[in-house]
């Protein structure tokens, strides 16, 4: 159930945090978010509930930030300077 309920939020949270990796602490944060979204006597929340995926993504993103896993992306603007080489398989 964690894989179905957590995978969307897990990958979205890691993507939004620009995380270099998915570590066990992020999986635990996802599991806690899923458990916190369960209502009443339900063991797990509905996997069709978008709020669950949003809660998981927010928890994973926050944990990645807390652990310092954000990756700084460097953009090479060779294309905008007109100095980029064509890809070898280009025609």
- Whether this prediction's pTM lies above 0.85 is answered by no
Nearest to 56 by CA among 13, 2, 4: 13
Q: What is the pLDDT of residues 36-89, one digit of tens each?
A: 998 888 888 888 889 999 999 999 999 999 999 987 665 556 555 666 566 566
Show the DSSP H helices in 1-91 as ranges: 2-16, 24-37, 50-67, 78-81
Dmax (CA) of the chain: 62
Q: Which two tokens stand for residue 79?
A: 């294309």
Q: Which two tokens stand for residue 47?
A: 């996997």
């Amino acid at each position: 159930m964690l894989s179905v309920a957590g995978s969307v939020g897990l990958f979205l949270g890691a993507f939004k945090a620009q995380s270099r990796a998915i570590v066990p602490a992020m999986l635990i944060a996802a599991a806690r978010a899923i458990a916190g979204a369960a209502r009443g006597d339900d063991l797990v929340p509905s996997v069709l509930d978008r709020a669950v995926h949003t809660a998981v993504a927010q928890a994973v993103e926050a944990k990645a930030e807390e652990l310092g896993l954000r990756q700084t992306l460097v953009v090479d603007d060779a294309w905008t300077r007109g100095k980029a080489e064509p890809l070898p398989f280009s025609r």
